[in-house]
Structure 1
Amino acid sequence: MQLPQIRMNSQMAQIQIQQTNGKQYIKQPKADLFIQQPQADISINTTPSRLTIDQTQAWEDMGLMHISKRIKQFANEGKQGLFEGIARKAQQGNELMEIENQGSPIPRQAAQNSFEGMKSLAIEFIPSHFAVKTSFQPSEVDINVKVNKPIIEARVNKPTHQYEKGAVDTSMKQYQSLEIDVVNLFTESV
């Protein structure tokens, strides 16, 4: 004997999920940098050195002098010789006035007037020491330096940001189903 049977076949529903990940791009560009170093400003002022050489006395020591100076020298020598002659004549006149006191002044004065005095023998340097006079004024250097600061310009660039959204797609992979079969519902007679 066969009993009736109910057969059930079910299938569960299935969901399909498909996911796309989001993407993010971040890029930081380098900063724009401009640096300039101006040269320093330098000014140099120089006063030239000065050397002065005076040879006047050296030329005069050698007997080479300007004519006006030579005339003045001769005039002074003549004046001095005149005064010396006047002094000598006055002294000799006084001696002759007092001839009785000093003995015989005439032979002595004759010997004195007839011979010039003895010349001294000495080494004389021509031109004399330090006859050439020099003076030196050194040059002066004035240096002015002005330092210029560097010029720095910086521009910051913003980061670039790019974003692609992610996605989630859901769909039915399989729908639910239920099948019911009845087996041996009707019995057959034998």
Structure 2
Amino acid sequence: MQLPQIRLESTFAQTQIQTTPAVLEIEQPGPEMSMEQPQAELQIERTPSRMTIDQTKAREDMDLKSIRSRIEEAADRGYEDWLAGIARRSQDGDELMMIENRGNPIAEQAKRNSESPLYEFNIGWIPSAGSVKIDYDPGKVEIRAKANKPVISIKANKASVSYTPGKAEVSLKNYPSLKIDFENLKFVGNNYEQSI
């Protein structure tokens, strides 16, 4: 028995895509920079130190006195001796004036005036402590400094951009097709039969 058959043979469509990639070019020039550093301003004012040493008293303690000092000393000592003499004579007069109060003022005054005074003696050529006077002024140093800020100049250069867009071309590589084939297919009518 032969069965009728319909045969279908199809071919799918095939597309093809051809692309050209995009191109992006960026060029960045470096910035232009300049820097200048002004020098700092510095001012120094100095008052020199000063030292004074006065050894007059030390020299006097060692009996190395100036003429003026010796004259002043002798004048002072004479004045003090004169006052002491006046006081002594006044005291002697008062004692003689009160002779009635018993005692022997004349003998006592004679004894007192005939005795030699006791002198204290020490090493005379060593200056006394603190006889050298030292005065010191340390002076001053004034420093004025002014720092100047750096001068910085920066110029930024723009980037150079070049862009080429890409392309995509789409086309059919193979068109679709459909092939139909019949076999054992017959048309049967009234008293009529035909192979298709």
| Range of TM-score over shorter length | 0.5 to 0.7
Q: Secondary structure at the match of 2:59?
A: helix
The answer for the alignment partner of 1:52 in structure 2 is 52
Q: How does 1:12-23 map to 2 (within 5 A)?
A: none
Query: Residue 29 of structure 2: SS of its match in structure 1?
Result: coil
Partner of 2:12: none
Residue deviations 1:3-61 (CA, integer Å, cap 9, x gap): xxxxxxxxxxxxxxxxx999765422111111122232222222222222221222222
- Of 121-130 and 133-142, the range deviating more from structure 2: 121-130
Q: Write out per-residue CA displacement over residues 152-176 of structure 1, whole angstroms, 9 at most, x where no aligned residue.
A: 111222344568999xxxxxxxxxx
SS of the residue corresponding to residue 116 of structure 2 reads: coil
Root-mean-square deviation (Å): 3.1
Whether the 8 Å contact between 1:95 and 1:102 is mirrored in structure 2 is no
**Identity level (%):** 44
For residues 69 and 121 of structure 1, the distance between their equivalents in structure 2, rounded to whole angstroms, comes to 21
* TM-score when normalising by structure 1: 0.63
1-structure distance, mates of 2:34, 2:100: 120
TM-score (norm 2): 0.61
Q: Is the 8 A contact 2:62 2:125 kept in 1?
A: no
Q: Report which stretch shifted further, 61-70 or 105-114.
A: 61-70
In 2 relative to 1, CA 107–156 (structure 1 residues): closer, same or farther, beyond 3 Å?
A: same
1:72 correspondence with 2:72: yes
CA-CA distance at 1:137 after TM superposition = 1.8
Q: Find the aligned partners of 1:108 and 1:99 in 2 and give their Cα distance.
A: 12
Take 1:102 and 1:92, find their aligned partners in 2: how far apart are those partners? 15
Tell me the equivalent position of 1:42: 42
Structure 2: which 5+ residue stretches go unaligned?
Answer: 1-19, 167-196
- In the other structure, the counterpart of 1:137 is 137
How does 1:1-190 map onto structure 2 within 5 Å?
25-120=25-120, 126-160=126-160
Unaligned stretches of 5+ in structure 1?
1-19, 167-190
